[in-house]
Structure 1
């Protein structure tokens, strides 16, 4: 089904890919004499209509957010299966749910913190949070909302509610991938959840976190057995490294080692996992049929705005060029 439905869409995706920022653009921006000169280079790109406003107010975050909103709106309008774009945009919806739950708790309006990205209208989400029900949202959203409200009513702990919502997010993330049913998509989602679990485990290890803490923050939606991860998290650091080095993610782990191989940098691990996912997406874009090229394009766009924000921040704050390049994620296009 997907091969037939996505054939023509993937032609459109190829056209959209031509507008992605290439490395030459980033290099020219970094080499520019000033923030203003760097921004002006974007007149040659898909950001051209937003340049003048950024030159006036230096608010490039609004430009980047607007670009993302437009990207997701376009993809929702052309996809044969909205669940695919819902999958890619789910983290924004769950971020909005966190904000809306805080509104419900504080009886205050925090709408300036919303991201207008996701399958469902913000008004529908707010109504569901207030009423605990919806005729539009799936049960996964309603379970998240009602479990969060129940948890806060019982324990009055906002941070605990945020952790609960994060766990629901990863469960929903995996559920959507399973409903879509494409083996490569399920593999990609498992990979993202596993990377998040390992990153959390590394940070928790160096903070001497307890088993109960790990049990509350790790997700069982990936490919690892959570209890095994928890045992690694409270055990010897060398055993943690050795055990992770025996998994399918050993290459990423080895790139992240520090202190003569007896420690792991969570910052380096996050960097190399992002690049490992990008390599996966670069392979996916080569497929002529099926849904993978669209998901690869979305990941590419998300990486683009991340790198663009980093470059513009560096120019605004006069950060060293080589330091900035070292923090940029692998680009989708050369």
Structure 2
């Protein structure tokens, strides 16, 4: 396929947006009495072609295939494929975690591989075995090397996730700067900030040490790492007071219960903040934001569908599921 300019691509993106589930469809599924009704509603949407007779047990595979098909369609078309990879990079680093551990443990974790639109299962396995692979970005090769050195020194799998999670955020920032779109860089920095906030709050809750959290938190956000670290051995209340004074204070206020953060709502609000960030994409015709907005909208849509399906499977009430659902793009 021929690569398009964003001006040429974005009409296709608008058409893809029209295939997203509506608020009404999502509400119907939320109120549905059983999963058979949910399946019936989905059958009349873009997910219809993926539905199987054992839908309740295989919905994850259905969503993975729908997302993979979207990546496969868009990657050859976008002016800069890195715009897609900056969004699918989470899957790339997930693959590194699973496949590096498989190599070190002499086991097969191939079933954990997630398609990211770029790097095949075999390419990543080759890089892990040999330390190199044609076409694999330097930040991935460096991550593999760092993990190997860690394992050789410690002979322990502990720390692998920490190294790769930190490198993932650094790679995000590096790629955003390379792409050179100010709005995209702003979104990536916000994502890193939210990730740091979530990890700091969880670190306080789990009574982690400052030294441990220093290895976990990223230095790539706008909130200084040293400031977050200063709250690690204090309390959620003190962290909450500090966060009120940041650029995210307005968001933080909405999830304060009594005097501290409601951690069950923090991740949801972070997702909602980033979704609202993409609202500007609805009027932008010449840059990468619309395609990123579509990918984000699709990911949020699938998160909400997973919440509805798993919520009904475990017996959550409609109210409990609704409280966990994310804002739908464009509403």
Could you say whether these structures have the same fold, taking a TM-score greater than 0.5 normalized by the shorter chain as the test? yes
Distance 2:52 2:91 in 1: 27
Check if 1:120 corresponds to 2:115: no
Equivalent in the alignment of 2:8? 8
Deviation at 1:194, TM superposition (A): 0.2
Contact 1:20 1:333 (8 Å CA) reproduced? no
SS in 1 for 2:164: helix
Q: Could you tell me how far 1:239 is from its partner in structure 2?
A: 3.4
How far apart are the structure 1 equivalents of 2:282 and 2:157?
41
Residue aligning to 2:57: 58
Structure 1 unaligned segments of length 5 or more: list them.
none
CA contact (8 A) 2:278 2:293 kept: yes
- Aligned partner of 1:25 in structure 2 is 25
SS of residue paired to 2:283:
coil
Looking at structure 2, the residues matched to 95 and 286 of structure 1 have their Cα atoms a distance apart, in angstroms, of 33
CA contact (8 A) 1:197 1:218 kept: yes
| Cα distance in 1, alignment partners of residues 35 and 273 from structure 2 | 31
**SS of residue matched to 1:78:** coil
Partners of 2:250 and 2:158 in 1: CA distance: 34
Shift of 1:266: 1.8
Q: 1:35 matched to which residue of 2? A: 35
Equivalent of residue 315 in structure 1, options 290, 312, 315: 312
The number of aligned residues is: 328
Give, in angstroms, the shift of residue 157 of structure 1. Answer: 2.1
Superposition pairs of residues 265-304 of structure 1, within 5 angstroms: 265-304=262-301
| In structure 1, C-alpha distance between the alignment counterparts of 2:67 and 2:41, rounded to whole Å | 19
In the other structure, the counterpart of 2:238 is 239
- Structure 1 stretch displaced more, 135-144 or 262-271: 262-271
Structure 2: segments with no counterpart, 5+ residues: none
Tell me the C-alpha RMSD between the 2 structures: 1.5
Q: When the two structures are superposed, what TM-score results if normalisation uses the length of structure 1? A: 0.94
In 2, are the aligned partners of 1:86 and 1:118 still within 8 Å (CA)?
Answer: yes
SS for the counterpart of 2:326 is coil
Whether contact under 8 Å (2:189, 2:221) holds in the other structure is yes
After TM superposition, the structure 1 = structure 2 runs for residues 203-218 of structure 1, keeping only pairs within 5 Å, are 203-218=202-217
Q: Name the counterpart of 1:91.
A: 90
Contact 2:201 2:236 in 1 (8 A): no
Evaluate the alpha carbon distance shift between residue 130 and residue 287 of structure 1 in structure 2; reply closer, same or farther with a 3 A threshold: same
Match of 1:305 among 299, 302, 306: 302
Q: Could you say which structure has the higher helix fraction?
A: 1
* Structure 2 CA distance for partners of 1:59 and 1:135, relative to 1, 3 Å: closer
Deviation, 1:285, is: 2.8
Could you say which structure has the greater relative contact order, defined with CA pairs below 8 angstroms and 6 or more residues apart? 1
For 1:234, what is the secondary structure of its paired residue?
coil
* Normalised TM-score (structure 2): 0.95
Q: Structure 1: how far apart are the matches of 2:330 and 2:40?
A: 21
After TM superposition, the runs of 4+ consecutive aligned structure 1 residues lying more than 4 A away are none
1:22, 1:333 within 8 Å by CA — same for their partners in 2?
Answer: no
CA–CA separation in structure 1 for the residues paired with 2:205 and 2:31: 38
Farther off after superposition, 279-288 or 241-250: 279-288
Q: Does 1:102 align with 2:101?
A: yes
Does 2:162 align with 1:166?
no
Deviates more, 1:18-27 or 1:309-318: 309-318
In 2, Cα distance between equivalents of 1:298 and 1:166:
21
